[in-house]
Chains A and B, each alone.
Chain A
């Protein structure tokens, strides 16, 4: 089936179409979940919820814009919503730090798994900002609106995230260097 046909049939609640849609896009959507979630397990939960939402609201997709983009947005929103409920975004009295000048790092063929892991290990607020900004290219303004934080806080969180990641990578490199 073409994507159009898939969408059409999913709107009719055709189970086969739904399954095919899942098979086609679950990889992409899951990776998004992995980048936003704290760990693999949580990522799976989020993927479940996101995909159910997608199937339920597919009738509202009117063909405007990219379908994949639409699904991705739903996926990200699912995670964000969950964190909102958990009050992850509550104002903290963290001191805002300045963005540092370009942080550079040595790329020693660090495995993807590791990179993913350290992103996941970031505190939620930092991870979300980092992922949204760096990996998904959202400007700070959007991020601040989404997370109900100020632009300043968004920038600060990004800076903190980068610092942590940098440290971890440097540690990793050091460890591997010695081998």
Chain B
């Protein structure tokens, strides 16, 4: 039976809703493509994450380096190590307080150093090849020492071909954080033992590490002239590199293993007593990272020495969580340093140093570089300078007092009865009194105030803290901190880059 239909209708009826099956290869193709895209998609956020972790760790490293460089405060991850730590830290804080010229820590533990010497020289041979590779090598070696059950995954991660220094180690960390669930405490103890030996021996003068930290915020070894009598040789420099690299590992281990411990032992995450008030006092040592002079460019090459002074104040802190707290406060910090290699004379103000506001307006004590006057009256464009005889070596002392308001973050690496923290942050400095004094033998005169000091300046701060909790409410802290001043002078041509190191000792009251 034939039926006449509109052509549209015919097609509609038959083709509108039919289903057809494609061949299997279609789905295979789709699947393959999707998987490829997935992989690409995942890599990018992963790298962003790793980048973020890297940035955070780099920050903590710069903090940690200043800690782990001169001291042997290898993170005592396990509690068994805490007593060793506190003993060491005591030694170390004393060292920091002392004039950095003396490398006293070396003499403290002669035995350990001898052992460590062996260790580090052995390491040095391997390392001298290539500093980049050495990092991985050391990391590998360190890991190899550990018992296998924990750290097989570690070694694997670290042996991965290092394209970038930081990214490699960070990968390891990232992987560690994910994979490591078994902490074999005794083996860790062993590990830290070895590292601490090396670190102890490498008690390099603090400024080395700190400067590197400040200049780059990246672990870097730089040379600069700090008046120190160290056992400085090339070997030491390499060892700094070694130390720094091993430090990296140890810090990662520390962070990593403390994380593990938290996972294993369910710790109550909400800290009570979030607020704390800490009055503190401590010695401060002042110096500059660069050669110049803040008083006059002609004194750039003169011998200068930083003095030890005092700082006191109060911190107010708030615990953000179990490990991280933020703090501010107010303190007074007194800084001074002296310049020698000068001669004194008398003359008009116009011939005197330009950076000083003189108290007397007519005849003032003129300070010039040694050899300028030669015990003769100098007729200059500014006036006549008559040499002044003094009974002793004259020195020019600058004293500055600042009121400091810090803003810092404190991260607890170890949070038990003994605590170890990393501290970093900024301070705002308000200029208080300042004066420049000339002294020679019995003679002593205040020339006036420096006129090139900024009223408002800032510092970047890093350091670490050790504390002992007497109770939940009372804690004793000792915190060596390095603070680098950012804009101390109104005159940008001044080539003086001051910093100060203080050891802040205080008692925290928690409430």
Could you tell me which A residues sit within 8 Å of B by CB distance? Answer: 13, 15, 18-19, 22, 26-28, 30-31, 34-35, 43-44, 47-48, 51-52, 55-56, 102-108, 110, 112, 115-116, 119, 130, 134-135, 162, 165-166, 169
> Quick check: B15 and A55 within 8 Å, CB to CB?
no
Can you list 22 contacts pairing A with B, beta carbon distance less than 8 Å?
Answer: A19-B27, A26-B21, A30-B22, A30-B26, A31-B19, A43-B22, A44-B25, A48-B26, A48-B30, A51-B26, A105-B5, A105-B6, A107-B2, A107-B4, A112-B14, A135-B12, A135-B16, A162-B8, A165-B7, A165-B11, A166-B7, A169-B7
Alpha-carbon separation in the docked complex, A102 to B9 (Å): 11
> Quick check: A47 and B31 within 8 Å, CB to CB?
no
Q: Which of B5, B29, B35, B38 sits near A48, CB closer than 8 Å?
A: B29
Q: Which of B1-51 contact A (CB under 8 A)?
A: 2-8, 10-12, 14-16, 18-23, 25-27, 29-31, 33-35, 37-38
- B3 / chain A contacts, CB cutoff of 8 Å: 106-107
> Quick check: B6 and A102 within 8 Å, CB to CB?
yes
Q: Which of B130-184 contact A (CB under 8 A)?
A: none
Which residue of chain A has its CB nearest to the CB of B8?
A134
- A26 / chain B contacts, CB cutoff of 8 Å: 21-22, 26-27
Alpha-carbon separation in the docked complex, A67 to B390 (Å): 97
> Quick check: A106 and B2 within 8 Å, CB to CB?
yes
> Quick check: A116 and B7 within 8 Å, CB to CB?
no
B42 to chain A, nearest CB (A): 10
- B33 / chain A contacts, CB cutoff of 8 Å: 48, 52
- B10 / chain A contacts, CB cutoff of 8 Å: 105, 107, 110, 115, 169
Could you tell me which B residues sit within 8 Å of A by CB distance? Answer: 2-8, 10-12, 14-16, 18-23, 25-27, 29-31, 33-35, 37-38
> Quick check: B15 and A35 within 8 Å, CB to CB?
yes
> Quick check: A104 and B19 within 8 Å, CB to CB?
no
> Quick check: A115 and B14 within 8 Å, CB to CB?
yes
Known: A19-B31, A26-B26. A108 touches B2 (CB 8 A): yes
A139 to chain B, nearest CB (A): 14
> Could you tell me the dominant secondary structure of chain A's interface residues?
helix
- B15 / chain A contacts, CB cutoff of 8 Å: 35, 112, 115-116, 119, 135
> Quick check: A104 and B27 within 8 Å, CB to CB?
no
Known: A105-B7, A134-B12. A27 touches B2 (CB 8 A): no
Known: A19-B27, A52-B33, A56-B37. A135 touches B21 (CB 8 A): no
> Quick check: B30 and A34 within 8 Å, CB to CB?
no
Which residue of chain A has its CB nearest to the CB of B4?
A104
Known: A30-B22, A47-B22. A104 touches B6 (CB 8 A): yes
- A116 / chain B contacts, CB cutoff of 8 Å: 15
Q: Which of A27, A44, A106 sits near B23, CB closer than 8 Å?
A: A44
A37 to chain B, nearest CB (A): 11
- B4 / chain A contacts, CB cutoff of 8 Å: 104-107
Which residue of chain A has its CB nearest to the CB of B29?
A48
B153 to chain A, nearest CB (A): 27
Alpha-carbon separation in the docked complex, A121 to B360 (Å): 107
> Quick check: A103 and B23 within 8 Å, CB to CB?
no
- A115 / chain B contacts, CB cutoff of 8 Å: 10-11, 14-15
> Quick check: A27 and B20 within 8 Å, CB to CB?
yes
> Quick check: A15 and B31 within 8 Å, CB to CB?
yes
> Quick check: A31 and B7 within 8 Å, CB to CB?
no
- B35 / chain A contacts, CB cutoff of 8 Å: 15
- B31 / chain A contacts, CB cutoff of 8 Å: 15, 18-19
- B27 / chain A contacts, CB cutoff of 8 Å: 19, 22, 26
Q: Which of A31, A48, A169 sits near B20, CB closer than 8 Å?
A: A31
A33 to chain B, nearest CB (A): 8
Alpha-carbon separation in the docked complex, A55 to B33 (Å): 11
